Structure 1
Amino acid sequence: MQSDRPIFVIGCPRSGTTMLRLMLHAHPRIAVPPETRFTVPAYYYRFAFGDLREEPNRRRLGRWIVRDGDTGFEELGLDGDRFVEDVVVGPPTLGSAIGIAFRSYAARHGRPRWADRRSGHHHQVDVIRRLFPDAQFVHLVRDGRDCVASLKEMPWYTRDVFHAVNSWAEAADCGRRARRLPADGYYELRYEDLMADPEIELGKLCAFLGEDYDPAMAEPCLVARGVIPQARSPYPNARGEGVALRPGSWTSRLEPWEVSLCETVLGERLAAFGYEPTGAPAADRAHVAAVEEIAARRRRARRRQEVRDRINRFRERGPVAAQLTVRQLGELARV
C-alpha cells in the first residue's frame, strides 16, 4: 500500500527548502503548496475555537482559516465555502481541519499525498507531531556560512549578521534533536549532496518516503514556471536554467570577520554536519557576545511558550491529532 503520510520540509531559511519543495511537487503523487500561515497559529489559538466535537466550533475554525488575512489560505486556490463545509463534516480534531486544507490542495493537483514547507517549522516539530503523529520530516541542511551569506543579501531579511548566524545555529540544533525521532519519521539531507547528484539523493529521499523516484524531480525549474510567480521567487533564476544557491559561494560573499564569527560560533555544529572549517582566526569577543545575547533571548521566549503550552494541554477537550491517513485511522481503530 502506498503511503499517505504528510511530509514536512524543515531547515534554515536560504538552505534550499524552496527548491526541495519544487522537487517534491514535481513528483506525480505529492503536492506541496506555497507557504501558508495557519498550521502553528491554529494550534496556539485552539482554545478560541472551542470543543471541535461540536459542529458550530468546527465551522468557526474553518471560517477563521479561510477569512483571517494572516493565514495565507488564498495561496491554496481552494473554494473557501466548500472547505468550511468539508471541515464541518470531517473528523472533529484540529489536525484534521488543517490536514483537510492540504489534502484538498493535493486533490486539486490530482495528487493523493501532500507536503508542507515553511520557514520556522524546525522550531515546531513537537507541535506538528501532535497535529500529525505520522508525519515524516525532511531536514535540508546547508553550510551555515552559505546560509548566513545568503540571508544578509536578501532584501526581505531586515536583521543583521548576528541574527543570521543564530538562525542557522537554531536550525542545526533543532535538526539534531529531531534525529531522536523514529527512523521512518526523520530524514536528513545535505544541500551540497543534493546539488552534486540530485538523482541519487532524490532516489534515497523517495525510498524514505515510500515513493518511487520520478526523473521530473531533478528538474525543479520546470515546476517553478507554474507554481512560483517571478516577482515572488526566492531565486533570481528559479524560472530559468539553474538555481542561484551555489554551494561554497560564501568564500566570496562573507567578510573575513564574518567567516571568523561563523566558524567560532558554529564550528562544532558545522563539523557535525560534515563541513570543514578554514582555520580562520577566532572572532572578536564582542561579536560572539552579540550572537550569544540573541540566542539567550530567543531561548527564553521559546521556553516561556513551551511552559504555557504544557499547561494548556491539560485544558484540551478531546484529541488534536488528525484522523485522516491510513495509519492515523488504524491507530484510532485500535483504541
Structure 2
Amino acid sequence: MDSNRPQPMAWKAALLRRLGIPTQLSELAEQARRLEGARPLFVLGTPRSGTTLLARLLDAHPAAFVTNENGALVQMHYAIHAMRARRPAGLPYEIESKEFHDEWAEWLDVLVPILVRGFYARLAGPARTATLRLWGDKHPHFDQCLPSLLRWFPQARYVYIVRHPLDVICSIAAMNRWDRAEAFEHWKLITEGYERQVAAIPDPALYVLRYEDLVGKLRATLEGIFHWLALDTAEETFQAMTELATIPAHALVRTADGSDTARAPEATRMQGSGAGRWREAMGAEEAAGYMRETHGFIEKYYPELVTPRGA
C-alpha cells in the first residue's frame, strides 16, 4: 500500500484544515460562550405596530444589541420544519427514500442556540460583547416560530408591542398599496397568531406595551422597560433615545461601526405623527365597522376606548 497516498478520510480532514473549518468551529464555540452571560431579547408585534422603532431604541442602550429583522432564527425554524416534513431543499413533494431527516433536524435544533449566539457575538465584536447584557432580534413574523424560540432560549425575554388596530390597518394599506379590507385580513391573521403564541410565554418573561404610550410618553415608557430588564440607564442614553425617536425608524441603517444613520429627507419627522391616523383616513361608518371587527383586541389593550354596555 502506498503510504504517501491519503487514506480514505484523511483527504477530507486535510481539506477541512485547508478551509479553516476546525478553527472556525472552535471560534464559533468560543464566541457563543462569550454571550452566555447575556440574555436573549426578542421584539414581537404585528407589522406596522412600532416594532422597528422599539428595536432601534432598545439597540441604542449600550448594554443591548438588537438587530432589525435579521431573520436567522426564523430561517432556522423553517429549515428544521422542512427537514422534518421531508422537504429539505424546499421541494414541493416529500422525499421518503432518503435518510436521517429527523436526525438532522434534531441535531440542527440542538445547534441553533450555539450557532446564533456565536453569530451575534461575532457581529458585536469582542469589546462590545464583553459589556452586553441583552442581545436579540426584532421580527414581525416571530409569531411563526415562537415555540422554537421558547425551546432554544428558555431564559429569553420578550417585548410585545401593540398598536390601535385601525391605525395598523391604515399603515399596512398605505405601505402595500392595498385596500383597507385586505389590510384588515392581514392584520387579523398575524395578530391572532401572536395572541395565541404570546399566551404561552411565562408572565415574568413578557412585557407588553402600546405604541401610543411609546411615542406619547417616551421617557416613562422606556424607564419602565429598562426597569423590567434590570438595566441601569444613564441620562445621556435617554437623551440619545429621545433624539433617535424623532427619526422615522425605517429611515435608519446600521453602519459598519454599529451606529444608526438617517438616510431619508424626512429624517426629522416625529414618529408620533402616525398615532390616530385612522380618524382622518376613515369615514365614520367604515371606522365603526372595523371597531366592531377588532372589538376584542381593543377591549383588551385599549379598555378606555370601549363604551360601557348600556351607556
Give 1:56-135 correspondences, 5 Å limit: 93-107=111-125, 110-111=128-129, 112=132, 113-135=134-156
| Aligned equivalents of 2:302, 2:245: Cα separation in 1 | 28
Q: Paired residue for 2:242, among 218, 231, 241?
A: 218
The alpha carbon displacement at 1:173 in A equals 3.5
TM-score by length of 1: 0.61
- Is the 2:246–2:270 Cα contact (8 Å) retained in structure 1? no
Match of 1:163 in 2: 182
Q: In 1, are the aligned partners of 2:58 and 2:64 still within 8 Å (CA)?
A: yes
Tell me if 1:137 matches 2:158: yes
Amino acid across the alignment from 1:131: W
- Answer whether contact 1:11 1:141 (CA < 8 A) is retained: yes
Q: Distance in 2 between matches of 1:179 and 1:41?
A: 23
Alpha-carbon distance in 2 for matches of 1:17, 1:219 = 18
Counterpart check, 1:274 vs 2:302: yes
| Aligned-pair CA distance for 1:3 | 6.2
AA matched with 2:228: F
Residues 43, 94 of structure 1: 8 Å contact kept: no
Query: 2:183 is matched by which residue type in structure 1?
Result: A
Equivalent pairs, count: 239
* 4+ runs deviating over 4 angstroms: 48-54, 221-226, 228-231
SS at match of 2:67: coil
The answer for the alignment partner of 1:190 in structure 2 is 210
Equivalent residue, structure 1, for 2:58: 24
Give, in whole Å, the separation in 1 of the partners of 2:288 and 2:126.
48
In 2, Cα distance between equivalents of 1:7 and 1:268: 28
Following superposition of structure 1 onto structure 2, how do residues 228-239 of structure 1 map, counting pairs within 5 Å?
Answer: 237=266, 239=267
**Structure 2 Cα separation of the partners of residues 150 and 106 of structure 1:** 33
> Which has more radius of gyration?
2
Deviations 1:42-94 (A, max 9, x none): 2221344979999xxx9xx8xxxxxxxxxxxxxxxxxxxxxxxxxxxxx9612
Q: 1:159 to 1:128 in 2, by over 3 A?
A: farther
Aligned residue number for residue 69 of structure 2: 35
**CA shift for structure 1 position 120:** 1.4
- Once residues 147 and 123 of structure 2 are traced to their aligned partners in structure 1, the CA distance between those partners, rounded to angstroms, is 24
Q: 187-196 or 35-44: which moved more?
A: 35-44
For 1:242 and 1:190, locate their aligned partners in 2 and report how far apart those are by CA, in whole Å.
17
| Sequence identity percentage | 24
Q: Kindly indicate whether the alpha-carbon contact (under 8 Å) linking 2:52 and 2:138 is maintained by their aligned counterparts in 1.
A: yes
If each structure's strand is expressed as a fraction of its own residues, which one has the higher value? 2
Between the aligned partners of 1:241 and 1:98, the Cα distance in structure 2 is 35
Distance of 1:7 and 1:16 partners within structure 2: 16
What amino acid does structure 1 have at the position aligned with 2:215?
A: M
- In the TM superposition, residue 29 of structure 1 has moved relative to its aligned partner by 0.8
Corresponding residue number in structure 2 for 1:249: 277
RMSD, aligned CA: 3.5
Q: Distance between the aligned counterparts of 1:262 and 1:117, measured in 2?
A: 28
> Cα deviation per residue 1:193-215 (whole Å; 9 max; x = unaligned)?
11221111111111222212341
Residue deviations 1:107-128, cap 9 Å, x none? 3782523121112113422122
Structure-2-length-normalised TM-score: 0.65
Q: How does 1:196-207 map to 2 (within 5 A)?
A: 196-207=216-227
Does the CA contact (< 8 Å) of 1:53 and 1:93 recur in 2? Answer: no
Which residue pairs with 1:12 in the alignment?
46
Mark the runs of 5 or more structure 1 residues left unpaired by the alignment: 62-90, 280-335
Distance 2:115 2:76 in 1: 10
